[in-house]
Amino acid sequence: MTYFLDIECYRNYFLASFLREDGVVKHFELHNDCKLDIKGISKILSKGLIITFNGNHYDMPMLHLAMIGADNNQLKTLSDSIINGAKTWGMDKPQCNHVDIKEPSPGVMTGLKTYGGRLKSEKLQDLPLSPDSLIKPEQRELMRKYCVNDLETTKQLYLAIEKDIVLRGQLSEQYGVDVRSKSDAQIAEAVFKSYLTSQGVNVRKRSTEVKPFKYKVPEWLEFKSPVFVEMLERVKDCVFEVSEAGKPKMPAKISKAIQFDGASYKFGIGGLHSQEKRQAIDPTTDELLGEFDIGSMYPTIIIEQKLFPAHLGKGFLSIYSDIKNTRIKVKKSDPRKAQTYKIVLNGSYGKFGSPYSFLYSPELLIQTTITGQLFLLMTIEKVVAAGGKVVSANTDGINVLYNKRDKLAIESAILDCELLAGYDYEYTPYLATYNRDVNNYIAIKPDGVKGKGAFAIGGLTKNPTNNICVEAIIEHLKTGKPIADVIESCKDITKFLTLRKVTGGAIYKGDDIGGVIRFYHSTVNGVITYKKNGNKVPKSENCKPMMNLPNKLPLDIDFKWYIKDAEKQLIELGVNHA
């Protein structure tokens, strides 16, 4: 049986609420009129799986203290210290089957209320009473209802990522370490630590005082164009350093954009990026357009170049290679198992740049990312020589426009690069692409649509922002249907909403509406402001908050605003709407 747990704490009131997977709720309270039912809590903890959001750092230490007999004052003191940044790693917690879904959830530094907005929760609600309040008897029911709303959101989030939790469970069994409450990067760290320790490797953190170092150019790398030959010489001469915080820095010598064949490319710690703006690529009947993407680029580079953190030794590379080879073997026969290996491989890369991780190796990170960028540039040069036009490049792939008669020459150029370096490209055909810039675009595929950045719809990593506008743009680009028709025929209010976190809380017409708000554009005048200074919340002019979802569309939706905004975005994508 699965239970969802949430805790609220005040100076004279403590509440631990459990939501059972079938919807039954049980409240446990501690106040002047009620002792905490410790036996009842223990019974639930012993029954099944306990799910929390940020429970490792709040709910579980709080519950433990409550269960060993702390009073309200002691509980409030601990609660305040945790909220104010106290470290909780060494604090005692109840012994139970527990999973904290905060880290496995895909957003970065994202709160539960924000996830609720992304998941279209019916009700967004902030804490109804100030944390410094003394709870009156008649206010206890208000706190119970608030707690249940958070529990419902926790359950909704858990169901959205349940497959990821199952994968983490499989990894836990496979490697003998519980990673169910960890992010992908944390999983990689835990798995490698377990592996290396079992092999007798002394797992330790290295110093963040890293001596300046140079990039080692692979033997297979070759350029013919003067601009790339000169660029490579600059890379060879570069001395890489880390910041005071231990983060690797990109030298100014190679940070300037490179101009080639009418396009501009820029190096970065995160990878190569082209610099196009407002670009619409719509192939003629004689042309083809597609993306050549390097499969598992970073793991492949690490293995091909035999890279490993020097302080951990070659044992790391042996383990890394085994994981990648095993993933390839089971990719078709057991996709879910293959996904677990992918989590470990890709998750480790981010830790190479983290001075807080025992995997910290800025030299390895730079060697990997610079190699990937040079390989892409080498591919770009060969593809252009074969008659192609590279219209976009981003981290591990390039988009190429080419005449059908040059198809074999383009494929030969790609194969040449693969044979030289040992990397494999995967191809995705596109019918058209529309770029606001390299990180915000729409790609029309034969079997669907790919949207990135501002043009990605849905998901747990992005706040919704007038999604109906993006849907109208996509439909217009696919079928030619007028934008106004798509917007005016939509009956789903969630597609008209914008979700935003407002630091310090927001006010609308004198009412406090909370720190995570959602609103729509209205024909009625009004503005949402910051509670702390009265300034306007960005892009909220003539908007109305909608913290509770209605059963039907409000009558004052400003359809004209949404139509105008969609048409503006269409122009930003390089489409001449006129």
pLDDT at 577 (0 to 100): 56
Tokens read off for 434:
């529309």
Residues of the chain with pLDDT under 50: 578
pTM: 0.92
- What pLDDT, in 10s, does the model give residues 344-360? 888 888 889 999 899 99
Q: Which residue has the tokens 């048409």?
A: 567
Query: CA 125 → CA 7, 51, 303, 561, distances in Å?
Result: 15, 20, 49, 27
For residue 339, give the nearest of 319, 353, 323 by alpha carbon. 323
Q: What percent of the chain has pLDDT over 70?
A: 100
- What pLDDT, in 10s, does the model give residues 212-258? 999 999 999 999 999 999 999 999 999 999 998 888 999 999 989 99
For residue 271, give the nearest of 357, 186, 394 by alpha carbon. 394
Alpha-helical runs (H) found in 295-352: 297-304, 315-330, 335-351
Helix (H) or strand (E) holding 176: none
Rounded to whole angstroms, how far apart are CA atoms 231 and 233? 5
**Tally of helices (H runs) and strands (E runs) in the chain:** 17, 20
Contacts of residue 183, defined as CB under 8 A and 6 or more positions apart, other chains included, come to 103, 104, 347
Cα distance from N-terminal residue to C-terminal residue, the chain: 59
- What pLDDT, in 10s, does the model give residues 447-457? 999 999 999 98
Vertex 70: Cα angle to 64 and 72 (nearest 5): 115
Query: CA 30 → CA 9, 33, 45, 95, 480, distances in Å?
Result: 10, 8, 18, 21, 62
Q: Helix %, strand %, coil % for the chain, to 5?
A: 40, 20, 40
pLDDT at 326 (0 to 100): 83
> Mean pLDDT, the chain, as a whole number?
93
pLDDT at 384 (0 to 100): 98
Sheet order of strands, 2-10 included: 25-30, 13-20, 2-10, 49-52, 97-100
